[in-house]
A = this chain, B = another copy of it.
Amino acid sequence: MRDVATMAGVGIATVSRVVNGKPGVTPDLAEKVTRAAELLGYRHDMTASSLRRADRRTHTLGLILEDAANPFSAALHRAVEDTAAERGVLVLAGSTDEDPVRERGLVRTFTARRVDGLIVVPTGRTDTDLDAARGAGTPVVCVDRPTSVREVDTVTVDNRAGVRAAVGRLHAAGHRRIAFLGDLPTIWTAEERHAGFVEGLAETGSVLHPALVRRAVHGVEAAQEATRELLALPRPPTALVSGQNLVTVGVRKTLQDLRRQHDVALIGFDDLPFADLLDPGISVIAQDPVAIGREAATLLFDRVDGDPGPARHRVLTTRYLARGSGELPGPGGV
């Protein structure tokens, strides 16, 4: 920048003004500066810029996901990216794999880089760190799951209602032995979905068969095994509710291995790519990752802009997508 200034025969301050498109520079001078910058191959340094700037904005935001490769995360990421891009903000992303240690590390490095804000899918065991970041001036929005710290904004989904309604449908279709397969109990959504399952049974006046409830089923393989075990029971379930997308895949794999996909009903939580191409299609309780991401980014930018209001907790609804697997009739008759 100094070089540009001397080459253009102007002060360094003027170069800064031109570079930042500030008004009040004689077009003549501005022209000279632009030319000099061009000639010297000058590249503006945003890091130095935000260091000196009054607002100290880095125009960067941190996104902490469970796993960037998961379709849900990927869609969320893209939605955040798009709404951030509208403000000229870039997204720094990292995956925790549900490991609180990694989450803590990411929060630390992100704040060390002075991101303008943090969007986090919290593992649920680093609340104090998240709160520390917030206390230190980095706005935080929790996504998909809340935190124990009530002061942070959250965007979640009404998991309970979604599963409850699904159970209601299965009951109405005649199912009386409905099983549930849920993810790790440390994950808030897994617990909520499980609670929704219990509530759904209660609402329909059904009995809860403990043998038909499998928790801590994490990943495709675990789901396959759990499904095999459930179907091998003396009195097996006639319908399955899966609490997570990879679990749904595992369940369905086993169902197909056993050629039972046409007689055992299945409803999964969270949509899957191409679930509608299967036969029968997999009925799911779908969330809208794009809406979630957009909402989270919007809330975050409000805070970045200085909104001091009380914490907002957005709860989006789920949508049931009937595609066949959830509509298979049960023996309870209608």
Contacts and interface: CB of A to CB of B under 8 A. Distances in A.
Contacts of A110: 90
Contacts of A112: 43-46
A125 interface: no
B68 A77 contact: yes
A211 interface: no
A180 B73 CA distance: 32
A294 interface: no
A207 interface: no
Contacts of A78: 67-69, 95
Given A48-B51, A69-B74, A71-B71, A136 B93 contact: no
Given A51-B48, A77-B68, A275-B274, A92 B95 contact: no
B273 A252 contact: no
A128 interface: no
**Interface size band for A:** 35 or more
Nearest to A276: B253
A65 to B, nearest CB: 9
Interface string A35-63: 00000010111111011000000101000
B90 A91 contact: no
A134 to B, nearest CB: 12
A29 interface: no
A203 interface: no
A129 to B, nearest CB: 12
Pick the 5 closest A-B CB pairs, nearest first.
A74-B74, A69-B78, A46-B112, A68-B78, A47-B47
Given A47-B47, A70-B74, 11 more contacts: A41-B132, A41-B136, A43-B112, A46-B112, A51-B51, A60-B92, A67-B78, A68-B77, A69-B78, A88-B109, A279-B279
